[in-house]
Chains A and B, each alone.
Chain A
């Protein structure tokens, strides 16, 4: 548990953080958000004493951070920043091993841990351990940054706009993986962002800051439904129904599907069963595309009735929010989208109808709170089969 009590930071006349108090229960994700200059990064950096508070106290599990040598304190707190800050002269494995080495671990203790963490963040060690940072993409570099922060198993993780510098698609994937990893590791996380959608997607609690003060500290739902001030209301935005979709995961509404590894007409036709489409996978189950069964029945060879896709782009993950899944469907013009695991193996699909079902709940919810703000763009009825939206 992290406790901030009346924490203040002044730079001469300027008060960057003004008497901020809040508590983050262990294992929860607290997102600090607010307009630039609101003091969110300063607050974060006071927790690991990269910035020393002017007054107030910060406790980690009851221990005052000021009672520990800063270097020692930081070795037990994971730290991830937007610019990643990988050491360019060290390999990926050496970068990840930084904190264990500082802690005096022996090689045989940290080496398996480094490989394990690289696996967890989705970078197979056999391929990536000996690469240098300049050989990585922005998304891969940030994965290494996350592995490096987690390798010594710190109970607390500080993340300063970690996904701010990557393209939207990579960001969405990194966010989904963060959710997956967090579910597994249950760290206490303090996460700074200026992106409301990101906050809603990842937070257990949101601390909304404005010019050094804490405006509201509560769950995303409460900030959306019961904003404490006009500022909070405006900052969270007006598209609340859509924002609320950012809180629900694909895993909650997906259904299982038929798939086939393809091949002879009879095999594919059988896999079709009565449905209009059947997914194609390779022998490991990795999504490769789908076959239009109607076209197949019309006599087209299986190879031509199929659509080949790259799962990285055409599929979502169980951790993906419904908002992102919806946006993917609208983008591709499909009523369904395949759900794959981190390795691209098909695990199900999510339909527009299923999302609509949760929207209906949200709409009623909203209608009770305030008038208007009902999304009208989604059709009333949605066929059970996959069909082009046009």
Chain B
């Protein structure tokens, strides 16, 4: 069977995800590989939780924070490109810019007194950190829609909401999705610092490994996080392809 071109990245990403899920579930495989890499280490595998458990915690953290980023970031980008929000555009872009340049570790430290220990300070830090690519790509995507297409849409009697959702958003989808992809992939890597406030995830073996001087733990957490990022990138690339209207494909 020959796959249509736009399905190929989707199928590849799906196969990659399956492979990743299998690898994550093989606790003995991690033990034997890390054991052979660090033969002098008595305990080459992080003992507090399995790789599968850590990955699930990590996914929960990334899922909640990235979900919030998209839920807020995309509508924010839409709003500042409307006449009603145009005045706020500079402020919003400065704010999301600041959100990304402000170190997430510092956000964690600042949030701890307010939100305490655990998941929520990490969610706030990652939410703010991931906003920039989502908002700026939403704005860029919407602005790249030719004015003449919008003029024609208005001239035919579409109202603003319909133009936004049936013309502008489909035409901007590819650029917005590229921003989403960047945001999520960065988030997966950055979420490892959340372990510092007890949010768990693949950062646990990294931070634990640093504190007990066990590089095998560090490698374990980093490898799993990197693989997760690659898989997520592939899945989102597939989604980007599917969300790109056929009429825009080269």
Contacts and interface: CB of A to CB of B under 8 A. Distances in A.
A132 interface: yes
Contacts of B171: 87-89
Given A50-B155, A98-B158, 6 more contacts: A76-B157, A85-B151, A89-B170, A89-B171, A89-B246, A98-B153
B5 interface: no
A132 B159 contact: no
A102 B155 contact: no
Contacts of B154: 50, 74
Interface string A100-137: 00100000000000000000000000000000111000
B149 A88 contact: yes
Nearest to B155: A79
A6 interface: no
B47 interface: no
Contacts of B157: 70-76, 99, 102
Interface in B135-168: 146, 148-159, 162, 167
A81 interface: yes
Contacts of B151: 50, 81, 85
Given A48-B155, A50-B154, A89 B248 contact: yes
B155 A88 contact: no
Interface in A75-102: 75-76, 79, 81, 83-91, 98-99, 102
A85 B247 CA distance: 14
B148 A85 contact: yes
Q: For this complex, into which size category does the number of interface residues on chain B fall?
A: 20 to 34
Contacts of A76: 157
A71 B247 contact: no
* Residue in A75, A88, A132 with the greatest tally of chain B CB atoms within 10 Å: A88
B152 A75 contact: no
A210 interface: no
B152 A79 contact: yes
A148 interface: yes
Contact of B152 (A84, A102, A132): A84
A75 B156 contact: yes
Closest 5 CB pairs of A and B: A85-B152, A89-B245, A75-B157, A79-B155, A74-B157
Nearest to B169: A89
Contacts of A86: 149, 152
Given A71-B159, A74-B157, A91 B247 contact: yes
Contacts of B158: 71, 98, 102
Interface of B: 146, 148-159, 162, 167, 170-171, 245-248
A87 B155 contact: no
Contacts of A91: 247
29 contacts: A71-B159, A74-B154, A74-B157, A75-B156, A79-B155, A79-B156, A81-B155, A83-B146, A84-B152, A85-B148, A87-B149, A87-B153, A87-B167, A87-B247, A88-B149, A88-B247, A88-B248, A89-B245, A89-B247, A98-B156, A98-B158, A102-B156, A102-B157, A102-B162, A132-B246, A133-B247, A134-B247, A145-B152, A148-B156
B247 A74 contact: no
Contacts of B246: 89, 132
Contacts of B247: 87-91, 132-134
Interface in A54-84: 70-76, 79, 81, 83-84
Contacts of B248: 88-89, 134
A98 B156 CA distance: 8
Contacts of B156: 74-75, 79, 98-99, 102, 148
A81 B149 contact: no
A99 B153 CA distance: 9
Nearest to A73: B157
A81 B245 contact: no
Contacts of B152: 79, 81, 84-87, 145
A134 B150 CA distance: 17
B163 to A, nearest CB: 10
Given A71-B157, A71-B159, A99-B156, A85 B245 contact: no
B142 to A, nearest CB: 14
Contacts of A158: 155
Contacts of B170: 89
A296 to B, nearest CB: 52
Interface string A142-161: 00010010000000001000
Contacts of B167: 87, 89
A50 B151 CA distance: 9
B47 to A, nearest CB: 53
Contacts of A72: 157
Contacts of A83: 146, 148
A132 B78 CA distance: 26
A338 to B, nearest CB: 37
Nearest to B160: A71
Contacts of A88: 149, 171, 245, 247-248
Contact of B148 (A70, A81, A90, A132): A81
A71 B156 CA distance: 8
Nearest to A99: B156
